[in-house]
Amino acid sequence: MPEDKEFPTGLYVNRPRPGSPDFVKARISIKVETFLEYLGEQDGEWLRVDVKEGFKVDPETDLKKWYAQVDTWKPKAQQQEKAQPQEETGDEPLPF
């Protein structure tokens, strides 16, 4: 069963402003105090966040709103075992 969706508090994602150069893909606003508090509650070294397009339409632009959602995907134990590199002993033949 999929986990509940988690949204980072204090992190806001918007479309680039009209007239922005093509290389600007998004505007991210961070309410520092709120976001730091949220980060303090998180476990682990990394926090991955996906920027998604929602279903609600912004009445000012007639475009769907964007939002940030925490990526909670974790590899299964079997996948982690396969991903571990094998130790090199120096006895393997040369690849050429």
Residues 54-90 have pLDDT tens digits of 999 989 889 999 999 999 988 888 755 666 666 666 6
pLDDT at 2 over 90: no
Percent of the chain with pLDDT over 70: 83
Interacting residues of 53 by C-beta distance below 8 A, sequence separation 6+: 64, 65, 66
Q: What is the mean pLDDT of the chain?
A: 87
The pTM for the full model equals 0.69
Can you tell me the mean pLDDT for 39-53? 94
> Which pLDDT score is estimated for 1?
45
Contacts of range 57-64, beta carbons closer than 8 Å, 24 or more positions apart: 61/15, 63/15
Tokens of 82: 């396969």
